[in-house]
Amino acid sequence: METDSIEQLQNRLQSLPTLQAKAHLLMQQLRGMVATAPQPCLAITDSLLAEAWIARDRVALPYLLRCKGLLHTHLSQFSEGFEAYSDLLRYGRETDNLMIQAIALQGLGIIHRIQGNITQAIDCFGQALEHSRTSGDPDAIAANSNSLGICYTLIGEFRKALEAYLESLEAYRTSNNQHGLASALQNIANMYLNLGDYGKALEHYQQYMGSGASDTDSGLAGKALQGIARVYLEQEKFPEATVSATKAAKLFADIGDKMGEAKSIGTLGLINRAIGKLAEAFAQFQQAAEIAQQIGDAETYVVSMHHAGNALLEMGNIADARSQLEKAEHAARRHNFQDLHLAICGHLADACGQQEDFPNAYRYRTQQLRLQHEVGSHQKQKALAELQTRYDVERAQKERELFKLKSEQLQMMVEYKTSELSSIALSLIHKQELLESLAGRLRQIQNLPAAEATVQFSLFLEELTTEATAGSGWTLFKENLRQTD
C-alpha cells in the first residue's frame, strides 16, 4: 500500500466520517511512516485518541493505543510506550479479546527486550504466544515465537531458541509468508551452528538458498553464504568454504554492505591461514581491518588485526607481528573487549619473548594474568545472571501454568455445583407439584363421608410422613449454594 505524506494523511483523515475509519487508516499508513515522520504521526494519534476517550469509542481505541505504543517505542520513549501498551492490554482483558491482548503483550515484550529486561520480555512473549495459539492467528504465532527465539538467543539458551524458531517456521509456512520463512530458516541454521550441529545448520542454510528468497534479498543471501562458509570451515572442507565466503564477499560488496564484506573477507583469511597460505591470509586480514576501520566497526577491526598479527607470527616476521598486535591491543583496551584483549596480550608476550624484550614480555604476561582473573570473574557473574534469568523465566512459566490449572479446576467445580443445584431445583419443583397434589387430595377427602374420609386420611398421613422423612431438598439446595461461594 502506498504511503501518504503527513499533509495527505491529515486531509484523508478529515474526510472520513467516523473515528473507527480514521483509526484504521492511521494504523495502515503508520507502517510506512513510523521511520520517516514519527513525531507528526504521534501528534495525530494523540489528538484522535483524546477524541476516542471522550466519545468512549471502544472500536477505535485499540487501534489508536497500538499506534501510540508503536510510535513511543520507536522514539525510545519507553515509559509512554509501556503505558500505552498497558492500557491496550487492560482493554483486551476487559473485552476478553485474546488478539488484542497478544498485540499488547508483544509490544510490552519488545520494550522489555530493548531495555535488557530479558526475563520480563520472555514472560510477555510467552503469554502473547499462548493467546495467539488460542486465537489461531499464524502471523501472530510467528511474530511471538520469533521474538521468544531472539530473547533465548540473547541469554545463550540456543536449544530453546531453536524450538521457538522452528515454531515460527511452521507458522510462516501456514500463512505463506515467504520473507518470514526465509528469515526463520536462517535463524534455525544459526542456532544449529551455535549448537555444533553442522549438518543441520548446512541443511537449513541450503534450504534458504533454494527457497528463492536469496534472489530478492541479497543481504540475507550473503549472511547465509557466510554461515555456509563457517560450517565448511568447521568441517575442514576448505575448497567449499572458500567458494561460499567468496560469493558472500561479492554479494556484500555489490550491495554496499561494508560490515558483511569485511567479515566475509576475514573468513577467507581464516580459511587460507588454516591451509597454510599465510601471505594470502595476512593480506585478507589487513583488507578486512581497513574496511572495518572505515565504517567504525571496532570489533571486526580488532579481530582482523589480531588475526593479521598471528599470521605474521607464524610466518616468522616477529617485528611486524608485534606492530600489528600492539595496534590491536590498544583498540581492544580502548573499547573494553576483554576476551580479545586477553588473547592479544598472550600473543604479544610471545612476540616480545622471541625478540628477547623480556621487560615488555613480562608486562604483557602480567596483564594477561590480570585479565584472566577479570574475565573469569565476569564470566562467573554472567553465568550467575544467566542462571538467575533462566530460573526467573521457568518460575514465571510454572506460576502461569499453576494459575491456569487452578482456574480450570475452579471452573470444573463451579460447573459441577451448577449441575448439582439444577438437579436439586428440579427435585424441589417435583416436591412442590407433589404438595399441590396432596392439597388437592385433602380437599377431596373433606367432601367424603366420615367413614371413608377416615380411611383416606390415614393413607394421606402415611404418604405425607414418607415424603417428610425422605430429606429436605431445600436444606440441600442451601448447603450446595453456600459451597459455591
Average pLDDT over residues 345-358: 92
What the block records as the C-alpha cell of 421 is: 443445584
| Amino acid, res. 20 | Q
> Following CA atoms 239, 244, 250, 254 in sequence, which dihedral angle do they give, to the nearest 10 degrees?
170
Q: Against a cut of 0.75, is the pTM above it?
A: no
What the block records as the C-alpha cell of 477 is: 439446595
What the block records as the C-alpha cell of 308 is: 593479521
CA distance 82 to 43: 18
Cβ neighbours, 10 Å, residue 365: 18
Residue 470, domain extent:
415-483
| Amino acid, res. 278 | L
Q: Which residue has the higher pLDDT, 432 or 381?
A: 432
| Residue 254 domain flag | no
Convert 20-57 to b/e letters by CB count within 10 Å (16 or more is b): bebbebbbebbeebbeebbeebbebbeebbeebeeeeb
> DSSP per residue over 402-428, as a string?
HHHHHHHHHHHHHHHHHHHHHHHHHHH
CA distance 127 to 146: 14
- Give me the pLDDT at residue 390, please: 62
Please check the confidence at residue 481 and state whether its pLDDT lies above 60: no
Average pLDDT over residues 31-37: 75
Residue 338: pLDDT band with limits 50, 70, 90: confident
- Evaluate whether 155 touches 389 at the Cβ level (below 8 Å): yes
Using one digit for the tens of pLDDT, what is the confidence trace for 294-337? 999 999 999 999 999 999 999 999 999 999 999 999 999 999 88
| Residue 19 domain flag | no
Cβ neighbours, 10 Å, residue 361: 18
Q: Which long-range contacts (CB under 8 A, 24 or more apart) does 398-405 make?
A: 400/123, 400/126, 400/127
Position of cell 502471523?
A: 139
**∠ CA 304-305-310 to the nearest 5 degrees?**
100
Using one digit for the tens of pLDDT, what is the confidence trace for 391-447? 666 676 677 677 677 777 777 777 777 777 777 777 777 777 777 776 777 777 777
| Residue 477 domain flag | yes
- Give me the pLDDT at residue 276, please: 93
> DSSP per residue over 150-167, as a string?
HHHHHTT-HHHHHHHHHH
Helix axes 218-234, 258-274, angle to 10 degrees: 20
Convert 387-417 to b/e letters by CB count within 10 Å (16 or more is b): eebbeebeebeeeeeeeeeeeeeeeeeeeee
| Residue 470 domain flag | yes
Please check the confidence at residue 214 and state whether its pLDDT lies above 60: yes
Q: What are phi and psi of 356, to 5 degrees?
A: 60, 30
| Residue 127 domain flag | no
Q: Which of 102, 88, 86, 195 is nearest to 148 (CA)?
A: 102
| Residue 224 domain flag | no
| Residue 133 domain flag | no
Residue 379: pLDDT band with limits 50, 70, 90: low
Q: Provide the number of structural domains found in the chain.
A: 1
Lowest-confidence segment of 16-20, 191-195, 236-240 by average pLDDT: 16-20
Average pLDDT over residues 86-106: 93
- Give me the pLDDT at residue 1, please: 45
In the DSSP assignment, the letter for residue 235 is: T
CA atoms within 13 A on the CB side of 381: 6
Lowest-confidence segment of 92-101, 132-141, 421-430 by average pLDDT: 421-430
Separation of first and last alpha carbons in the chain: 54
| Amino acid, res. 215 | D
Residue 476: pLDDT band with limits 50, 70, 90: low
**Sign of the CA dihedral 278, 281, 286, 292?**
negative
Q: Which residue has the higher pLDDT, 460 or 288?
A: 288
State the chain's mean pLDDT as an integer: 86
| Residue 83 domain flag | no
Q: What are phi and psi of 472, to 5 degrees?
A: -95, 110
- Give me the pLDDT at residue 103, please: 94
Highest mean pLDDT among 20-24, 382-386, 440-444: 20-24
